[in-house]
Amino acid sequence: MREYVPGTVIELQTRPYYGPDDQLQSGKRIFHRMFWTFDPCVRAFPHCKPFMQVDGTWLYGKYTQILLLAIAQDGNRNVLPIAFAIVDKENMESWEFFLTNLRRYVISNNNICIISDRGKGLIAAIRRSGMPWRSVYCIRHIAANFQRDYKNADWKRQVVRMGKGLLYLFNISFNVLGQCYNLSLLNTYAAYELEPHIFRQRMTRLESNMEGQTNTSFRQWLGTMEPWQWTQSFDEGFRYGQMTTNLVEGINAVLLKTRHLSISSVFSATFYRLATLMPRMGQQQVNQIEAGYVFVEDVRDAIAANRRMARSMTVEVYSRRNETFRVTETIGHRPGIPPRSYGVDLRNRRCDCRRFQTLHYPCAHVVAACAKVSLNVEHFIDEVYTLAHTLRVWENEFPMLPDLSTWEVPPTTFELVPDKGLRRNPKGRP
C-alpha cells in the first residue's frame, strides 16, 4: 500500500508466535495492533478547526477487536477522519500506541483540543504520554456517568444545562463521509451556556438540591475534573462550540456495515470512502467560490441572523481607536434572560456574551459595534470559515489504485496470523 499510495502510514505491532509444542516459530507473528493514516488526511488537518474527537468502537468480525478513530471538522461542519487503528483492547497501552502515532505522523501542532468520552484508558494514556494537547470531555458522557451514579433525572438535566444551556435553537447538520446527519436527531442542540456567572448559579442550585440526599457533593463527584474540561463557560474557544463526541459517533454509524469484515476490508473501506469523498467535497467548495462567496454557508447564515438581531441594539463607543464598545439589547433574544448590555473588545476579539471567542466569528453585539463605526464585520471572522481554507482541506486527492490482482507484492519475512485468544465464541450449539 505504501508503494501504490505514497505517503500512506502503516504502523504494525506483532507478538511472537508459539506452536502447539510451545516452541517459538520465527516464521510466524501474531497480529497485535495496527495504526494507519493517509497523506491527503495529514495535509488536510492543518486547515481544519484545531480540535479532534477520538473514540473507539467494536468490530463484529471473528475476533473481538476495536477500531480507534480520530476525527476532524472543516469550517462548514464537514467531518474528516484523520487516523485509524485496530487494537485488541481499549486500554491505556492501546490508546498510547494510537496517540503516539497520531502525534508522530498527523498532528505536529501543540495548540490542539482533544474531545473524548473520558474513558479511563484514554485519560491515562494522555497523562503518561505527556501530549501537549488540551484534553476536554463530552458533556453527554459526563451526564450519563452522573445519572449512573445518582439515578436522578432532574439532577442530570441540571448538569447538562451547566455544560450547555439552550440559547438558540439552530437545527444543525453535519456531513459525514458524504452522509448528512442532523444533530436534533441525536438529542443535541447547538449553543451552550457561555456565561460563567450563570454556570455558578446553576452549580449552587444543584448542590443545594443534592444536600442531605447524598454522601458526596457535586464538587466531590467531579473530583479532579476542571470546569474548562466539561463546560462551555470556561472553554475559551478551544472547542469551537463542540461539546459532544457526536462527530466520531457519526463515523461509527457510517462504517457500521464494514465493522463485521476482516482487517484488510476495514482498511480498504476507509481508503475508498475517503478517495471518493475528497473530490466530491472539493468540487462543492469550488462551486461556492465560483458563485462569488467568500465564507462557508454556515457562517454566512449566522452573520445574516446576527445582523437582524443587531438592528435592535444601541452602541456606545468607549475608545477613540474604535476598539471597545458597550452594546445594549433593547429586545431579549434568549428565553428567560432579559435584555442587557455587553462589553465588546474588537482588538482582543472578545464579547461579554462569549459567543465571539467561543465560535470565532462575530456575535450580534460585535456586528452592532462594527455597524456603529462602519467597520467591515468580515474582518473578524476566523479564516477557518473561508472557502479558500475549506478548499485546502478537500483539494488533497487520493491516487487511483490499480486492480489488486496486478499488484507486485514483495515476499514477507514472516506469516501474519490472528490472535486466537480474541476469537469470538460461536453462537448456538457446537
Burial class (CB in 10 A: 0-12, 13-18, 19+), 403: exposed
pLDDT tens per residue across span 320-343:
899 999 999 988 766 666 788 999
Mean pLDDT check: name the lowest of 238-247, 288-297, 388-397, 416-425.
416-425
Rounding to the nearest 10 degrees, give the CA dihedral for residues 105, 229, 149, 117. Answer: -20
User: Mean pLDDT across the stretch 315-319?
Assistant: 95
> 87-121 burial by CB neighbour count: b if 16+ within 10 A, else e?
bbebbbbbbbbbbebbbebbbeeeebbbbbbbbeb
Mean pLDDT check: name the lowest of 80-94, 204-218, 346-360.
204-218
Domain positions in the chain? 139-244, 297-385
Q: What is the DSSP string of 22-71?
A: S-EEEEEEEEEEEEEE-HHHHHHGGGS-SEEEEEEEE--SSB--EEEEEE
Q: What is the pLDDT of residue 401?
A: 77
Q: How far apart are the first and last CA of the chain?
A: 39
pLDDT tens per residue across span 119-159:
899 999 999 988 899 999 999 899 999 999 999 999 988 88
Cα gap 58→60, rounded to integer Å: 6
Please state, for a pLDDT cut of 70, what percent of the chain lies above it: 87
> Helices marked H in 324-363 — which ranges?
355-359
Please report which confidence band the pLDDT of residue 177 belongs to, taking 50, 70 and 90 as the band edges: low
Cα gap 181→253, rounded to integer Å: 10
Q: What is the pLDDT of residue 187?
A: 32
Of residues 60 and 394, more confidently modeled:
394
Cα gap 138→126, rounded to integer Å: 16
Rounding to the nearest 10 degrees, give the CA dihedral for residues 145, 150, 156, 162. Answer: -80
